[in-house]
Amino acid sequence: MEIVDGNKLDDGALTRLSEIYLQMWRPILDTELWECSTEEDMLGKCRKQFASRIEIFPEGQLAVLDPAEGVMGGLSTIMVSAMDEDGQPDYGKVEGKWEYLTSFGYIDGYAHDPDGNLVICYAINIPPEHHGKGVARALLHGGTKFAKDKGLIACPYTRPSGLDKYLKKIGFDPMQRDELLDGIVGEYVSMRDEHGRLLDENIGVHSHFGAEVVRIMPYSRPCDLDSWGYCVLMAYPKGYVVPLNK
- Distance in Å, CB of 206 to ligand COA, minimum: 8
- Distance in Å, CB of 62 to ligand COA, minimum: 13
Beta bridge pairs of residue 125: 74
- Distance in Å, CB of 140 to ligand COA, minimum: 8
- Distance in Å, CB of 135 to ligand COA, minimum: 4
For residues 132 and 174, which CB has a smaller minimum distance to ligand COA in the complex? 132
Question: Which strands, in side-by-side order, build the sheet including 2-5?
Answer: 2-5, 61-66, 70-80, 118-125, 153-158, 231-235, 212-217
For residues 48 and 131, which CB has a smaller minimum distance to ligand COA in the complex? 131
For residues 83 and 210, which CB has a smaller minimum distance to ligand COA in the complex? 210
For residues 45 and 137, which CB has a smaller minimum distance to ligand COA in the complex? 137
- Distance in Å, CB of 2 to ligand COA, minimum: 15
Find the residue with minimal CB distance to ligand COA: 204
Alpha helices in 110-162 (DSSP H): 135-150
Gap between the Cα atoms of 116 and 113, Å rounded: 5
The SS3 call for residue 25 is coil
Burial (CB < 10 A; 0-12, 13-18, 19+), residue 228, is buried
Q: Kindly list the residues in this chain that would bind ligand COA in the complex (CB under 6 A).
A: 124, 126, 131-137, 158-159, 161, 197-198, 201-202, 204-205, 208, 246
For residues 58 and 204, which CB has a smaller minimum distance to ligand COA in the complex? 204
Residues with Cβ within 8 Å of residue 67, at least 6 apart in sequence: none
